[in-house]
A and B are shown apart, each in its own frame.
Chain A
């Protein structure tokens, strides 16, 4: 498990993208999303779980997510988030953007050796 300097703070704006990506597989509640991001990144990405909630609420307000109160597996009330059509579209766009960005950065950081 990486610790200390190996953990990376999230870039501004990437949290939104990660949330959208996580929800691509189906609805989830806040706790699950937080852990999915953490685990998905092999615990490299440092998500302060508290900062997740404002992001979730903001995405709901922007219409990218929808929130529904449901009953969880152990019969508790929980708030489930799922992608909306608009959110799906945004994710595709963000994905493409992210690809371009990483490729560009990669070209600079590791120029192809001739």
Chain B
């Protein structure tokens, strides 16, 4: 402000200088000193206005005005702490909901590729009717596109393959996701390795020659302790020795948000890694995802035209493979949305909901501001009367709103961060796939800021205009402004009722979810969760035939069961509560499917004969599997009670038959019935499940499950050691104890859902309270004079109190009348689709009563104010 003051002083001096000179001239012309002074002032004109005009010529006045407005706004907010708190909280909820939803939406769909100038990168490939979005391309087609396209500055080709990774040849490999990429991959995406280099063109020219690898930053940091001397070191992928030549930058998390890529190797090594020698030669083996970076200035349409001509050419030269292929370029975002319409829809829904929350919050704050309009009308009129412009007043009011929005926005970021922490608890118990990063990054912060600024206009503009438009004379005389249109109050009443109804529905849902989940969690999945160590195996890449694989599994289970500390061991293709489940098609004999269907898709697991004992799942009828059930004996199945009751109600299911894989598949006979347990998720309703004998339908990969005598975590190291003794190339992944996974999948995920629903319920309740409060307060402010008269002519404060309370009660009551049937319906729906639980409808009534009490409390605040109106003050306005 030093500069400011100097400027002001200099202006004062300048004007004083003028006055002095003028005065002197006047004195010289013969006036008396007093006369001379006055004449000089007359000549100058009104001094204050002159100064003000000069200031506005400086071009700084808007800052000055802003500063005034801010100071004034802060003062006004401080004077009404109740109003400020409520308004800020509402906006915080709106902004917070938007931030949290945005982070989820961003992680699922919106976030662009983590590469510089991502909007230049196009998705290239063929379109077929089979797949949405752009399909993958074959290697020869990739070469044709690369060589004949002119619109692209660079092309990137990538294919993912799980590979067993180890640092030393004798160490047990871990299964990680690796990516085969072309030599120009990093250049095309403009990703520069943080250490070492990308691939040179020679390195993807000769199949199988150059075993070099670039590590992802994550893998380098986690498995290699971010060792900076890593370049030149050897690592092993599927038993092949690779030389590390580079480390990708931390920012580059890969081109697939859900795949945790550990390695990038030249595509020429793909045949050796996959064990598929011809994969690079066949034009109809489409396995590569292609990305092209456009030349500066080139357009999508150009690239598309060029691709069409390439594709016509390919169709002519290679009719047998490329005839039906249509090459297409899409922006990477278009492709993402088309490929994953479910996620995209979910994202729009989430964002839409968040937008609705924001609108309701803003409507409420606008209501609050409007409710203050009669109070502020006098203030506004005085300011208008002494010459403030209306625009200036609106700006002043908007500045006040902006302050609310800023405070609300900051608090909203905290709310959003809480949401992020909540979402982050969802984890997938697997090494290969990852849940995309959810966080309040720069994009989310910017989004929150944008939402907060938009909210200023949503909630601030109309009340500001209305307040500033207050009728000058009328307000000065403290007469009520002309009765505001009834319709407006009607609209607000409807909004408040709807909010109360919605709050009840959300709270009911919370209650049902909470009771349901706590019921499920306390009753457990029905199968063993304690004393179990698990690890999944991928019998090394295609080198085992079925007989060898069976022998390996036999020895594995046999040796595991013999180990110290192991009570029993078994194998299963699917583990309860895991995020991946298998389905099998069955066609029960004699069962009539509804028209249009010819099979039922049923959750399924291939299990070894000890499975039911180890997992503690009782066989209620018939028998489980035996060692003697082999491919040579008739196929058997164990079904659960639910399936038996579903397809053979009231009959003995033992000996019944169904076909596998469709109406002409092989028969399987029911050997036993297992008790119902939970399979995919702890909150599920009992569902059909079929167990097949692992010996009769070999499967890979399988999960080894060992029941421990003591601590199950202690078994993991010896089990790994034992497996390495059997086959040192065996890849192991998803190593965990059942208890860990149960916590992660069942308990924690359930809690996240309950907490999300609960916070939505609370949010709904808070918003409804604010809305109700705002509306009742508005009415009270408008009727102050009336209350004054009533009190003056002898009404008891209590009767005024109850009069206002009644208004609140009518609003809340209407909301509840609508909300109760809706909640019953929602509760039914949840009960039907969710789980047994023990939430009952009497609880709902309790909830409704509680809601009524809370809403009445919100109406009580303005009601009390109404009952304490001092008749003299109220009437003195007249």
Partner-B contacts on A (CB < 8 A)? 29-31, 34, 48-51, 53-55, 57-58, 61, 69, 76-79
Is the pair B50, A53 in contact by a Cβ cutoff of 8 Å? yes
Q: Measured between alpha carbons, how far is A47 from B58 in the docked complex, in Å?
A: 21
Is the pair A57, B58 in contact by a Cβ cutoff of 8 Å? yes
Residues of A within 8 A of B20 (CB): 76
Residues of B within 8 A of A77 (CB): 13, 17
Q: Measured between alpha carbons, how far is A50 from B53 in the docked complex, in Å?
A: 9
In the complex, whether B44 has a CB less than 8 A from a CB of chain A is yes
Task: Closest B residue to A60 by CB, please name it.
Answer: B57
In the complex, whether B296 has a CB less than 8 A from a CB of chain A is no
Q: Name the residue in B43, B46, B57 with the highest tally of chain A Cβ atoms < 10 Å from its Cβ.
A: B57
With contacts A51-B45, A53-B50 taken as known, whether A58 is within 8 angstroms of B17 at the C-beta atoms is no
Interchain nearest-CB distance for A93 vs B (Å):
21
Determine the main DSSP class of B at the interface with A.
helix
Task: Closest B residue to A59 by CB, please name it.
Answer: B57
Is the pair A61, B17 in contact by a Cβ cutoff of 8 Å? no
Is the pair A30, B17 in contact by a Cβ cutoff of 8 Å? yes
Is the pair A50, B59 in contact by a Cβ cutoff of 8 Å? no
Q: Measured between alpha carbons, how far is A68 from B264 in the docked complex, in Å?
A: 68
7 pairs of residues in contact across A and B, judged by CB atoms under 8 Å:
A49-B43, A50-B44, A53-B11, A53-B14, A54-B53, A77-B13, A79-B10
With contacts A54-B54, A54-B57, A57-B54 taken as known, whether A49 is within 8 angstroms of B10 at the C-beta atoms is no
Task: Closest B residue to A57 by CB, please name it.
Answer: B57
Chain B 14-64 interface residues, beta-carbon cutoff 8 Å to A: 14-15, 17-18, 20-22, 43-47, 49-50, 53-54, 56-59
Is the pair A79, B57 in contact by a Cβ cutoff of 8 Å? no
Task: Closest B residue to A38 by CB, please name it.
Answer: B43
Identify A31's interface contact among B18, B45, B54, CB under 8 A.
B18
Is the pair B13, A79 in contact by a Cβ cutoff of 8 Å? yes
Identify A53's interface contact among B22, B46, B54, CB under 8 A.
B54
Task: Closest A residue to B52 by CB, please name it.
Answer: A54
Q: Measured between alpha carbons, how far is A78 from B50 in the docked complex, in Å?
A: 18
Is the pair A76, B17 in contact by a Cβ cutoff of 8 Å? yes
Determine the main DSSP class of A at the interface with B.
helix
Identify B18's interface contact among A49, A57, A69, CB under 8 A.
A49
Residues of A within 8 A of B58 (CB): 57, 61
Task: Closest A residue to B43 by CB, please name it.
Answer: A49
Is the pair A51, B53 in contact by a Cβ cutoff of 8 Å? yes
Interchain nearest-CB distance for B507 vs A (Å):
61
Is the pair B14, A30 in contact by a Cβ cutoff of 8 Å? yes
Is the pair A58, B57 in contact by a Cβ cutoff of 8 Å? yes
Chain B 40-90 interface residues, beta-carbon cutoff 8 Å to A: 43-47, 49-50, 53-54, 56-59
Residues of B within 8 A of A34 (CB): 18
Interchain nearest-CB distance for A76 vs B (Å):
7
A-B pairs, 7 with minimum CB distance: A50-B45, A54-B53, A50-B50, A58-B57, A57-B57, A31-B21, A54-B57
Residues of A within 8 A of B56 (CB): 54
Q: Name the residue in A48, A50, A55, A77 with the highest tally of chain B Cβ atoms < 10 Å from its Cβ.
A: A50
Task: Closest A residue to B19 by CB, please name it.
Answer: A31
Identify B15's interface contact among A53, A58, A61, A69, CB under 8 A.
A53
Q: Name the residue in A34, A51, A54, A76 with the highest tally of chain B Cβ atoms < 10 Å from its Cβ.
A: A54
Q: Measured between alpha carbons, how far is A47 from B14 in the docked complex, in Å?
A: 18
Q: Measured between alpha carbons, how far is A61 from B59 in the docked complex, in Å?
A: 8
With contacts A57-B58, A58-B57, A61-B57 taken as known, whether A50 is within 8 angstroms of B49 at the C-beta atoms is yes
Task: Closest A residue to B40 by CB, please name it.
Answer: A49
Q: Measured between alpha carbons, how far is A102 from B54 in the docked complex, in Å?
A: 30
